[in-house]
Amino acid sequence: AAALAVGLAAGASVAAAAEEAVREAASFLASGGVASLAAEPEPPQLHGASDAFVVAQQTRAAGGTVVATGGCFDLLHAGHARTLAAARSLGDCLIVCLNSDASVTRLKGEERPIMNEQDRAELLLSLECVDAVLVFEEQTPEAALERLRPDLWVKGGDYTAEQLPEAKLLESWGGQTVTVPYYPARSTTKLAAALAKVG
């Protein structure tokens, strides 16, 4: 329409102006139309420490239960997904305390992590059951938990809650440690070994 108006204003005949307008419209569509004008999509904003604390604060203000869990989550698999879903079902929000890249390397060796912390956090946040991710640098989550102070700390495993080293810390502010079923057939180490054979 703009090209047609410009052509008519310049004194072109209606037919000539319409022909030019059609030519310009075809060229615009061939170049991708409106989609080609759109900016590159921004990468998703990851929930960092401040967002995790905001989620926890809002949940508490509404009278809800703050649940946290933690781990490396390097190569997310079905066992992780089940544990996370089980953890979320116990409260009103789930905050994942995620080992940083440096922390994973210290725990697992120089070949790990397979996925960097940005990608691991993004995958976790794509799950409906995860409300926020808090990346921590230490090898264990105690310092992150001390700052977050969740009502429940949930881990997957075949041990009792009392056996977890975080249990006494949770008790110090009235929190509880809970274990949910662990799926030993699913593991990042096994996945990595299988991928190495294929690749």
* pLDDT, tens digit (0-9, with 9 covering 90-100), for 24-78: 766 655 665 554 444 454 444 454 566 999 999 999 999 999 999 999 999 898 9
Q: Where are the beta strands (DSSP E) in 100-181?
A: 132-136, 152-156, 176-180
Compute CA 194 distance to the chain's CA centroid, rounded to the nearest angstrom: 25
pLDDT mean across residues, the chain? 81
For the chain, what percent of residues have pLDDT higher than 90? 57
* Model confidence at 109: pLDDT above 60: yes
Dist CA 166 CA 172 (whole Å): 10
Q: How many CB atoms lie within 10 A of CB 146?
A: 11
Stronger pLDDT, 10 or 83, i.e. the higher one: 83
Give the pLDDT score at 30.
60
Give the pLDDT score at 37.
46
Lowest pLDDT segment from 29-43, 88-102, 134-148, 181-195? 29-43
* pLDDT, tens digit (0-9, with 9 covering 90-100), for 114-148: 999 999 999 999 999 999 999 999 999 999 999 99
Dist CA 127 CA 121 (whole Å): 10
Q: Where are the beta strands (DSSP E) in 46-170?
A: 66-71, 93-99, 132-136, 152-156
Dist CA 69 CA 143 (whole Å): 13
Q: Where are the domains of the chain?
A: 2-37, 49-194
What is the reported pTM? 0.71
Q: Which of 78-97 are b and which e, b meaning 16 or more Cβ less than 10 Å from the residue's Cβ?
A: ebbebbbebbbebbbbbbbb
Q: Which CATH number applies to 49-194?
A: 3.40.50.620
Q: What is the three-class DSSP state of 39? A: coil
